[in-house]
Amino acid sequence: MVAPKDLFDLEGLTHASLFAGLDYVWQALERISDYTRQAVALAGATAPLLRARGGDMLTHTVVVHRGVVHEAGFELLGGDPTKGKMRVRLLGQEVADAAVIHAGAVFMDDQVHIATGAVVEPGALLKGPTFIGPGTEVRQGAYLRGGCLVGKGCVVGHTTEIKNSVMLDGAKAGHFAYLGDSILGREVNLGAGTKLANLKIIDRPFHIKVGEENYTIARRKFGAIMGDLCETGCNSVTNPGTVLGRRVLVAPCKSVPGGFHPAKTIIR
């Protein structure tokens, strides 16, 4: 019940190989940083192209298309990037495979990849290694602290902070969220103000009981692992060492106890 395949539909998943050979889903937390660094190297880092234009912070909006940074000759026509509807007119022709990085975005590390169709809004700050997948929206004021593996069609919202965490395809943390040492499954949606706490006050191993089995995880930090299609209400908090099966619902303002919560549980 706690293998990666139990929580996530891995077929066709952008970063399914992160979970290859793992018996328990939390083992992926140890891999995130190295896997993200390799993913950036394989896809090609975008940040060096941007930082070469004046330092860490972009002074004007640019379009990145097929490895070329365009500072002029484009028109932003609007549309939702997470639904594949963002439209950009570049050199007189509408293109579907451009990324848009707005003035005021900050790149403090070269190891950042921005995929096609993605948008990075003003004031977002990214450290490496960070991989932003196709059609993902990184909104104003987002803080990606490194070890951030973000899949296809995701939302990293306003003042959302992410560190050593994974957002699988379609996951959304749209407003005022914190993700530390955590994994969000496909189409997970975090209500505004959701915090995935990752640090125990007392430094002890995590103990998770699943059925008749007891697991001990000797990590200092362990946030939440949320199966596909989980949802949290606004201002909810998951305590360190939380594992949610698929389609778990968390009510607003709820403090979720650490441990395993089976699929389709309603926590309120």
| Both structure tokens of 135 | 């059609």
Is the model's pTM score more than 0.85?
yes
Phi, psi of 32 (to 5 degrees): -55, -50
The CATH class given to the 14-202 domain equals: mainly beta
Q: Before 81, cis peptide (omega within 30)?
A: no
Sign for the CA dihedral angle at 63, 80, 11, 228 comes to: positive
**Tokens 């699943």 appear where?**
210
Helix (H, G, I), strand (E, B) or coil at 56: coil
Q: What is the pLDDT along the chain (268 residues), one digit of tens a residue?
A: 999 999 999 999 999 999 999 999 999 999 999 999 999 999 999 999 999 988 899 999 999 999 999 999 999 999 999 999 999 999 999 999 999 999 999 999 999 999 999 999 999 999 999 999 999 999 999 999 999 999 999 999 999 999 999 999 999 999 999 999 999 999 999 999 999 999 999 999 999 999 999 999 999 999 999 999 999 999 999 999 999 999 999 999 999 999 999 999 999 9
| Both structure tokens of 121 | 């809004």
* Domain residue ranges of the chain, discontinuous segments joined by +: 14-202
